[in-house]
Amino acid sequence: MEAVANCSLRVKRLLLDPKFEGYKLSLEPLACYQLGLDSAVAEVKLRDDQYTLDHMRAFGMYNYLHLDSWYQDNVYYVDQLGRVMNLSVTLAMFGFEMKAIKDFRSIGSIQNNASFEVKLL
């Protein structure tokens, strides 16, 4: 067996706030916004031979929105027409901007039962 490294954590006293009284729970509801889409979000449909526990773990809790790591106000999703859509949310103005990034219709149409995979780099 490989030995486990021993490390000690040191407190940076300059980062501590002596006046900190703790976190406060807010009972105000979270803001929820709705936006009508041109085409519905493409969902991954399982085939009859894909109903195992591993498939349920992989696809059952799948989030269809992909957050942009560099621009935190942008999310991406794939619609049923095969387009990778970019949704830019500006909360200061409560505005939404949506545009198609890549159109995969030339590769092949996405049917309701078809399985597909799109990797966003």
Domain ranges within the chain, ordered by starting residue: 40-121
pLDDT tens digits, 49-60: 777 778 777 776
Q: Find out whether 79 and 52 touch, Cβ atoms under 8 Å.
A: no
Q: Kindly state the tokens that stand for 2.
A: 């490989």
Q: Which residues in the chain show pLDDT less than 70?
A: 1-2, 60-61, 91-121
Cβ pair 71, 86 in contact under 8 A? no
Give me the pLDDT at residue 102, please: 58
**How many Å apart are CA 65 and CA 111, to the nearest integer?**
20
Q: Which helix (H) or strand (E) holds 17?
A: none
Does pTM surpass 0.85? no
Residue 117: the pLDDT is: 38
Helix spans in the chain (H): 53-59
